[in-house]
Amino acid sequence: MWSWRHETRAAYAFVERNVHLVKRYWGWEVVWLIYSIANALSVTFIGAGMERISGQRVDTQHLILYLLTGTLVWGYLSVVFTLVSETIQWERWEGTIEYTLMAPISRFTHLVGTTLFSLLYGFLQTAVILAAVAACFHLDLSGANLLGAAGVLLAASLSFSALGMVGAVLPLLYPEKGVQVVQVIQSLLLVISGVYYPVDVLPRALCWLSQFSPATYVLQGMRAALLDGAPLRQLWPCILALLLLGMLLMPLGVWLFGKAERYARRTGRLKRDG
Amino acid sequence: MSEPTTWALRVAAVSKTFRPFRWPWQANAPVQDGVRHDTAEGRSGPVCALDKVSLQVRRGEIFGVLGPNGSGKSTLIRVIATLVLPDSGSVEVLGLDLARHELEIRRLINRVSVEASFFKKLSPLENLLFGARLYGLPANRARQEALGILRRLGLREASLWQPMEQMSRGMQQKVAIARALLTAPVLLLLDEPTTGLDPRSKREVQGLVEALRRDHHATVILTTHDMLEADALCDRVAIIDAGRIVAEGTPAELKQRVASTTGGSPPTLEDVFLALTGHSLQSADEAASEDAVESSDVVLAP
């Protein structure tokens, strides 16, 4: 009898397979981690240099932590979003897409498996970057609510994964250019979510749009937890907003993916190209 | 009334036409200032891959689908494998209608394609374990069975844990068949499994297909454009040309049908193909290749 146990096993298959792939590509993983740390450092050094840039006194530690939070959240979002949304492109490149899509599992299970791995990977990478940058700048995180920050990031995972599923639709529909469009979506999120600045400095239209981006709430929550050490009860509004967005986006992502897969099967676009 | 105990597969009047994607503004602007403003997509028209294809395959049979490149063999396999939706017609696997029981049918079938569909950086064992989990096998059992099958196929112990990219194509294809065997499919779809293999690897894979029926009682649909292979392996064959089934029967029956056209020499399946389609398999393959080249030869606007 086919059961939830089979589906769980199948979801775990994607986690296990991707862990094996990470082990095989370990050299590239190290390169990617160095790039991510360098990227985070280059942004946070803006905070370190702000007094010299502006000629004014600023709270450098606060600014560094503000920018670091942005770069951590952006890094996490990028990893989750990219891993989920590029799962189709990756499998198409490897030539395994048809094998995976004809497996006797629900598409929800497939996407959940891919998402679970991306969350684990994203969390691990974010923790390593935080540790590296904190060590570099001798940041004092004793007053930060690290557990609360992790909780906010966890709550955001649902909606980030759902956004990834929406993004995964594009390479399915447009094998050649779909991934580039995903990057465009990612950059739009970067602009409207206040990754490196408060959203109220944005023009009114963009500021209005920012309320629909899960990244806006995760940044608010993370900054409150890391910069002000806000306790959990103060973080709840952000966590609730993130969970609500996640609950709306997740069914939408799965539904859209199902529709796109059907279109791809009707038009013969699953076939490997290149 | 279907007879699931007798027929493993019933395909009835399945048609499929692929239409190139066009943006709304592309449809009515083929010529401007006397110059064709074509793109690779815009120039090629609809392609009829399957035209009212019907066939029935008994349980335990090895059924060959023969045809040149571009004749519709792979599209037919993809339709049965739930990877392409037909425009019309119906497919039944063990009495289950494909349109209504897609997930159930996926549990009963597996497919080996012409390209080895693996994560090349992963080892054969890792690839097989991934496949086994997707088909609901518990990890320990999957590992034991995978190891057993891979060893029976003659894989050296060390290569079980080495990346697939270090293996020959013939060996990769044997691993692909092993992966399919691991899920114990009732219906196995082999889409040109020996194309591009050297003679020795080809013989090994063909031996494996024979063992499939002998030891696993699986029903096999084998697409190929190798007439000798079809003659040696298949109980019955269908010849497909330009999306249509032009003949169906045992190799002996088909050869008998064209015996009078070969001038006394014993007919081959190649003769059958020539007599029934009006062109040889080789020339049809060449024509398909030329079409592919032409369709990529686009005229660009200045």
Give residue B281's pLDDT. 65
Tell how far CA B8 is from the center of its chain: 17
Q: Within an 8 Å CB–CB cutoff, is residue B200 touching chain A? A: no
Q: Look up tokens 């910069």; give the residue.
A: A227
**A273 found inside a domain:** no
**A201 found inside a domain:** yes
Label each residue of chain A as H, E or C: CCCHHHHHHHHHHHHHHHHHHHHHCHHHHHHHHHHHHHHHHHHHHHHHCHHHHHCCCCCHHHHHHHHHHHHHHHHHHHHHHHHHHCHHHHHHHHCCHHHHHCCCCCHHHHHHHHHHHHHHHHHHHHHHHHHHHHHHHCCCCCCCCHHHHHHHHHHHHHHHHHHHHHHHHHHHHCCCCHHHHHHHHHHHHHHHCCCCCCHHHCCHHHHHHHCCCHHHHHHHHHHHHHHCCCCHHHHHHHHHHHHHHHHHHHHHHHHHHHHHHHHHHHHCCCCCCC
* Burial of B203 (C-beta count, 10 Å sphere; 0-12/13-18/19+): middle
How many domains does chain A contain in total? 1
B292 contact residues in A (CB cutoff 8 A): none
A104 contact residues in B (CB cutoff 8 A): 103-104, 106-107, 134-136
Per-residue pLDDT of chain A (274 residues; tens, 9 = 90+): 557 788 888 999 999 999 999 999 999 999 999 999 999 999 999 999 999 999 999 999 899 999 999 999 999 888 888 888 778 888 888 889 999 999 999 988 998 899 899 999 999 999 999 899 888 888 888 889 999 999 999 899 888 888 888 888 888 888 777 778 888 888 999 999 999 999 999 999 999 999 999 999 999 999 999 999 999 999 999 999 999 999 999 999 999 999 999 999 998 888 754 3
pTM: 0.84
Count of other CB atoms within 10 angstroms of residue A115? 26
CATH of B7-30+43-117+185-286, one of 3.30.1370.160, 3.40.640.10, 2.40.33.20, 3.40.50.300: 3.40.50.300
B135 contact residues in A (CB cutoff 8 A): 103-104
Task: Read off the pLDDT of residues B32-47 as tens digits, 9 standing for 90 and up.
Answer: 554 444 444 445 678 8
Give residue B294's pLDDT. 43
**Of B3-12, B46-55, B290-299, which gets the smallest average pLDDT?**
B290-299
A20 contact residues in B (CB cutoff 8 A): 122, 126
How close B40 comes to chain A (CA, Å)?
Answer: 13
**A274 found inside a domain:** no
B262 neighbors B232 (Cβ within 8 angstroms): no
With an 8 Å Cβ cutoff, are B134 and A100 in contact?
Answer: yes
B63 neighbors B236 (Cβ within 8 angstroms): yes
How close B103 comes to chain A (CA, Å)?
Answer: 5
Q: Look up tokens 């010299």; give the residue.
A: A52
With an 8 Å Cβ cutoff, are B84 and A268 in contact?
Answer: yes
Contacts of A263 (CB under 8 A, 6+ apart): A172, A173, A269
Give residue B44's pLDDT. 62
- A77/A242 Cα distance (integer angstroms): 13
- Mean local confidence (pLDDT), B58-84: 93
CA distances from A149 to A190, A225, A239, A244, B176 (A): 20, 5, 10, 18, 46
**A272 found inside a domain:** no
**A230 found inside a domain:** yes
- B238/B198 Cα distance (integer angstroms): 25
Q: Which of A20, A110, A267 to mutate to test the interface with B (most CBs of B within 10 A)?
A: A20
With an 8 Å Cβ cutoff, are B130 and A267 in contact?
Answer: no
**A120 found inside a domain:** yes
Domain that holds residue A228: 4-267
With an 8 Å Cβ cutoff, are B111 and A98 in contact?
Answer: yes
- CB contacts < 8 A, A to B, total 92
Structure tokens at A257: 């993916």
Q: Look up tokens 């239209």; give the residue.
A: A205
B84 contact residues in A (CB cutoff 8 A): 265-266, 268, 270
Find residues 84-143 of chain B whose CB sits inside 8 Å of chain A: 84-85, 103-104, 106-107, 109, 111, 113, 115-122, 126, 129-131, 133-139
| Half-sphere exposure in the Cβ direction for B165 (13 Å, CA) | 7
With an 8 Å Cβ cutoff, are A9 and B119 in contact?
Answer: no
Instruction: Give B5's pLDDT tier (boundaries 50, 70, 90).
Output: low
**Is the pLDDT assigned to residue B295 strictly greater than 60?**
no
**A73 found inside a domain:** yes
Give residue B296's pLDDT. 37
Give residue B285's pLDDT. 62
Give residue A175's pLDDT. 77
Nearest one of A137, A179, A131, A116 to A46, comparing CA atoms: A137
B145 neighbors B132 (Cβ within 8 angstroms): yes
CA distances from A20 to A10, A190, B9, B42 (A): 15, 31, 37, 42
In chain A, what is the straight-line distance between the N-terminal and C-terminal CA atoms, in Å?
39
Share of residues in chain B with pLDDT > 90 (%): 39
- B137/A112 Cα distance (integer angstroms): 19
**A35 found inside a domain:** yes
**Dihedral angle sign, alpha carbons of residues B120, A83, A40, A180:** positive
